Structure 1
C-alpha cells in the first residue's frame, strides 16, 4: 500500500474499536462463554462499570461484533427517556394500525353523540416489549441464533424504562430463551439500579469493572500497531509513550494517535519512519490537551461544587493526600469531608491509597485541576 494512503490506526473517539483491544481478555472470554454455554450462563447477563475513558462503549461494541459473528441479532441503545419504546420499535417497526408500548393498553371503541351515529376509534393492537422480544426470539431460535441487547450510559436511564427492560429480560431468561443483556455505565449506576426493589434481577448481573491496562501490554500494543503501518516505535520514544498513558485506555488511543500523526507529518518524505523522542514528546503534549477537553472537563461538569472543592484541596499535593489535611483545607470537620470522599470514590474519580489516604483515579486530573483552578472556582461559585 502506498505510504500516502496509510491511515492513522488509532481511534480516540467514543465507541470506535481500537486496533488492538488490550487488557480485556478475561471479560471477552466470559462473554464468549456465555454465548456458548446457553441460557442462564453468567456471561449472558453482565454489567460493565468504569470511569469515563475506560472503554465501556468499546466493550459493548466488541460484544455486539462477537455475537453477530455467531449469527445473533444485536440491538443497542444509549439511555435516555423513551429507551424501552425505542427498543420495541427496533424489534418490530410500526406498520398500519399497530401500536407499540412497554405498558399494557386496551383497544378503545366509543359511541359518538353526533346525529345518533356510531363512530369507532381506530383499533389499536398493543404489543408489549416482552411480547416483541419473544416474537423475535421465536424467529431467531429456529435458526439456532439469539438476541443480544446492550444499554450504554445506564446511569442516565429513566426508571420506568429500566423496569420494563429488566422485567422483560428476567421473564425471558426464566423461560430459557436465547437472550443476552449487557448494560454499562458510570459506577453510580450500581447504587442507582441494584438497590431498587423492583429490579433485584439486575443484582445477578456479572459485574465487570474496567480499570487500567498493564504497561507491558500497552508497550507491546504500541510496538505492534506502529509496525503494522510501517513505522518503528522503540527505545526511549516507546518508553515515553507507554508511561504517558498511565495504562488509561482512552489515553492509550490519544497518545498513539497524536504520536503517529506527528511522526507522519515530520517524516513523510522518508522511505522508512522511526519515531523520535521529539515526536513522542510532542504527541504526548497534544494528547494531554485533548484529554482535558474530552475527559477531565466533562467529568468535573457532573460534580457538585463541594465535590470540586474536595478535589481542588487534593490537587495541592504531589501524591496521595491525607484525608485529614483535605478536611482542614476545606475548613470542614472530618465527618463532613468524608461524605464527599465516599461520593468521589464511588464515582471512581478518586481511590483509597492506604489508611487515611486518597489519590486521583483519573490520570492527569491533578494537573488539570491546578491549571484550571481559577476557572473551576469561578464557574462553580466556589469560595475559599
Structure 2
C-alpha cells in the first residue's frame, strides 16, 4: 500500500459518500477497471480501510474457481450448505435397488444459499449500526456460475435496502465478458470507475512531499528525472519512489550529514524500478495474450513512436482487416491506444522497451 494516494480523490469520495448516504447510494455498487498497474488492488484496499473506519465488516476475495463457495464459507463457517444433488453410495436390499447418498452443493442453489448467508450476517451487523463490504479483485478471471450466484444474491439484498456495498475490479475485458451477459445485467448498473494515469504535476508534488516527510530532500534535477520516469503510471510511481528512496537512504546511512537525493541516486533507482516493472507488469501482460496479439505488438515495437496500422499489418504479413481484429482486441484490453489518423501507440509505459529487449524470447515461446 503506497503511503500516499494521488489522482484518486474523486473515486474515494464517491465510495465514502456511498457509505455515509445509506442504502441505494451509487457508490455502494461499483466496478473498477484499468490496465495492469494502475492501482485497482490499491483502491480495493483503500475502500476496505474506509469501510472499517465506519465499523463495517470487510470481506476481500480474488476471483478464481470456487469463489462463491469461499464467500459462503466465510459467511457461515459452521453451517455447510446442502443441495439436492446426491452421490450414490449404498444400495439397500429389499428397496428395489434404491441408493442412499450424501448431499453436496450445486451451482443452481448457490444464489439462494449466499443470499441467506449474507442476510444473516447483515442482521447481526445492522443491529450494531454497521454494514458489510465485499470486494472481488481480478473479476475477469471469475467463473460464470460464481458471478451469477454472487450478483443474484447481492441484487436481492440491495433491493431490500440492506447496509452493504459490493465492489468488483479487473481488467477492461470484464466489460465484454460480464456486462454483456444477459444473466448478469444487474452488474451493468454498477458505477463505472476507469483508472488511468496520474498528472505529472501531482506526481511531482507527491514525491517531493513524501521524501520530505522521510527526512530526505528530493529536488532539482533528481526530482525532475524521477517524475519524468514515472510517466504518470501509478505502479511506476510506487516503484520509482521506493527504489530512489532506498538507494539514497543507503548512501546517506554511510555518509553522515547528507540528506539529499543525488542525480546518481535517481538514475540507479529508476533503473531498478524499470527492471521490477518488467517482471511485475510487462511479463504477466504478455503471458495473458495470444501469439498473434504478441506478433502485433512486436511489429509495433519496431517504431520509435506511434505506429501506422497499415505498416503493422504489412510487417505481420497479413491483410489490414485481419490485423485490425487484433488491434481492436489490444485497444479494448488497454495494452495499446488509438492515436487517430490510422496510428496506434503503447498504452503501458516502457512496453516498447520491454518488447525490444525480450523479442527473441517471445518469438521462441511463440
Bin for the TM-score computed over the shorter chain: over 0.9
Closer/same/farther in 2, CA of residues 170 and 271 from structure 1, 3 Å limit: same
Aligned to 2:60: 76
Structure 1: distance between partners of 2:32 and 2:161: 23
Structure 2: distance between partners of 1:317 and 1:123: 61
Aligned to 2:5: 21
Aligned to 1:312: 298
Structure 2 residue 281 is matched with structure 1 residue 295: yes
Cα offset, 1:31, TM superposition:
0.6
Closer/same/farther in 2, CA of residues 123 and 253 from structure 1, 3 Å limit: closer
Q: Which residue, out of 142, 145, 158, partners 2:143? A: 158
Structure 2 residue 203 is matched with structure 1 residue 211: no
Alignment of 1:266-277 (within 5 A): 266-268=251-253, 269-277=255-263
Cα offset, 1:41, TM superposition:
1.1
Structure 1: distance between partners of 2:144 and 2:361: 35
Aligned to 1:42: 26
Aligned to 2:250: 265
Structure 2: distance between partners of 1:311 and 1:121: 54
Closer/same/farther in 2, CA of residues 361 and 68 from structure 1, 3 Å limit: same
Aligned to 2:216: 231
Structure 2 residue 80 is matched with structure 1 residue 99: yes
Closer/same/farther in 2, CA of residues 292 and 143 from structure 1, 3 Å limit: same
Structure 2 residue 92 is matched with structure 1 residue 113: yes
Say if 1:107 and 1:123, in contact at 8 Å, map to a contact too: yes
Cα offset, 1:124, TM superposition:
9.2
Q: Structure 2 length as normaliser, TM-score?
A: 0.93
Cα offset, 1:112, TM superposition:
7.4
Closer/same/farther in 2, CA of residues 105 and 22 from structure 1, 3 Å limit: farther
Say if 1:40 and 1:176, in contact at 8 Å, map to a contact too: yes
Cα offset, 1:106, TM superposition:
7.8
Q: Which residue, out of 31, 38, 59, partners 1:54? A: 38
Tell me the alpha carbon deviations over residues 88-127 of structure 1, each in whole angstroms, 9 at most, x when there is no partner: 1111112xxx4226xx54899x9973699xx997899998
- Residues paired across the two proteins, number: 357
2:340 counterpart SS class = coil
Say if 1:56 and 1:210, in contact at 8 Å, map to a contact too: yes
Closer/same/farther in 2, CA of residues 233 and 131 from structure 1, 3 Å limit: same
Structure 1: distance between partners of 2:130 and 2:326: 47
2:169 counterpart SS class = strand
- Structure 2's unaligned 5+ residue stretches are none
Say if 1:137 and 1:177, in contact at 8 Å, map to a contact too: yes
Runs of 4+ off more than 6 Å: 119-127
Aligned to 1:180: 165
Say if 2:84 and 2:103, in contact at 8 Å, map to a contact too: no
Structure 2: distance between partners of 1:106 and 1:328: 56
Cα offset, 1:227, TM superposition:
1.0
Q: Structure 1 length as normaliser, TM-score?
A: 0.88
Alignment of 1:139-158 (within 5 A): 139-158=124-143
What is the root-mean-square deviation of aligned Cα atoms in Å?
A: 2.2
1:75 counterpart SS class = strand
Structure 1: distance between partners of 2:250 and 2:188: 51
Aligned to 2:358: 372
Say if 1:99 and 1:124, in contact at 8 Å, map to a contact too: no
Structure 2: distance between partners of 1:122 and 1:370: 57
Q: Which residue, out of 119, 141, 161, partners 1:134? A: 119
**Greater displacement, 228-237 / 138-147:** 138-147
Q: Which residue, out of 311, 316, 329, partners 2:315? A: 329
